């Protein structure tokens, strides 16, 4: 029992793998860095951390880091990965199942691609692409079938969704061909001025 948020656990382990952190900051990173978890609440995060402790994948490293905690605010609990935790993270990053192309799971996997084998990266990128192409096909047959009886706004929404999916497919295509050529990551566009 207690299959509490596999995906959330994966994301938390991944962020802690980069550097030790306390809960409050973890939440902020989950909300911004990762596309998934736009609005994750503490009511999910803290119980998740409790479970990870129980499993022995993280431990409390409260006062020890390079973090400046001179002015004492409320005692922050800094979490760090155990050896087991690092192993679990690698297992999760290395495994690509049919759920890995779901919107949220894809985002999380992608965010940790730097610690994923190239071969697995490729499988996930391709899986994601065919998932989106499936979606596109559905939208297209649906809008062909209902052409007449659909009002302008519904059509506009569908068209917008179609365009977004098309853009993501192109993005994936770039990433896939770069991956095949052994290049790390193509920068999507020129950086903001």
| Interacting residues with DNA (CB under 7 A) | 1, 3-8, 22-25, 37, 39-44, 46-47, 49-50, 71-74, 76-77
CB-nearer residue toward DNA: 20 or 93: 20
The nearest distance, CB 104 to a second copy, in angstroms, is: 12
Residue 81 interacts, among a second copy, DNA, none and using kind-specific CB cut-offs from 5 to 8 Å, with none
CA distances from 169 to 93, 122, 165 (A): 22, 14, 6
**Spatial CA neighbour of 180 closest among 139, 133, 122:** 122
Residue 188 interacts, among a second copy, DNA, none and using kind-specific CB cut-offs from 5 to 8 Å, with a second copy
**Spatial CA neighbour of 56 closest among 40, 32, 79:** 79
Residue 44 interacts, among a second copy, DNA, none and using kind-specific CB cut-offs from 5 to 8 Å, with DNA
The nearest distance, CB 24 to DNA, in angstroms, is: 3
The reply to whether 163 sits near a second copy by the rule CB under 8 A is yes
Q: Is the dihedral of CA 170, 136, 39, 80 positive or negative?
A: negative
Burial zone of 143 (CB within 10 Å; 0-12 exposed, 13-18 middle, 19+ buried): middle
Per-position x/- string for 7-46, each x denoting binding to a second copy as judged by CB under 8 A, each - no binding: -----------xx--------xx-xxxxx--x--------
Q: How far apart are CA 9 and CA 179, in angstroms?
A: 27
The reply to whether 159 sits near a second copy by the rule CB under 8 A is yes
């Amino acid at each position: 029992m207690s299959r509490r948020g596999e995906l959330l656990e994966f994301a938390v382990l991944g962020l802690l793998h980069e550097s030790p952190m306390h809960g409050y900051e973890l939440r902020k990173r989950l909300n911004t860095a990762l596309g998934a978890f736009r609005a994750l609440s503490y009511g999910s995060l803290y119980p998740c951390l409790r479970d990870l402790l129980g499993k022995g994948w993280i431990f409390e490293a409260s006062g020890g880091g390079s973090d400046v905690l001179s002015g004492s605010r409320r005692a922050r609990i800094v979490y760090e990965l155990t050896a087991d935790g690092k192993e679990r993270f690698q297992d999760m990053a290395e495994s690509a199942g049919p759920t890995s192309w779901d919107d949220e799971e894809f985002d999380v996997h992608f965010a940790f691609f730097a610690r994923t084998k190239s071969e697995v990266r490729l499988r996930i990128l391709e899986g994601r692409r065919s998932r989106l192409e499936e979606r596109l096909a559905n939208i297209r047959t649906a809008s062909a079938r209902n052409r007449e009886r659909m009002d302008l706004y519904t059509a506009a929404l569908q068209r917008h969704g179609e365009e977004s999916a098309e853009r993501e497919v192109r993005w994936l295509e770039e990433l896939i061909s770069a991956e095949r050529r052994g290049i790390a990551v193509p920068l999507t566009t020129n950086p903001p001025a």
